Amino acid sequence: MAAFDDARVIHAGDDLPVTSYTDILAELPAIKAPVLALADSETPGAVASAIEFILEGLHLTKRLNKEAAGAKATYRGRG
């Protein structure tokens, strides 16, 4: 994913406040439209769930690396 080419790192997990996911949308404008379409809402909880779903999908399709420790995950480009 081109948004991760510059060694960008995104943290996700149960320990993050749900509102921190709105910062991710500001950092990664390329995923805003898919997130809002998937969430079908702009509530922080729906946006957080959609972001985590998309990041995990990008990881499972080998477009992002993921490091997981307990309930925390770190996503980064495959470069």
Higher pLDDT, 7 or 9: 9
3-state secondary structure of 56: helix
- Return the closest-CA partner of residue 48 out of 21, 13, 16, 11: 21
Can you tell me the distance from the alpha carbon of 76 to that of 65, in angstroms, rounded to the nearest whole number?
Answer: 5
Q: Summarize pLDDT for 25-41 with one digit per residue, the tens.
A: 888 888 999 999 999 99
- pLDDT at res. 6: 65
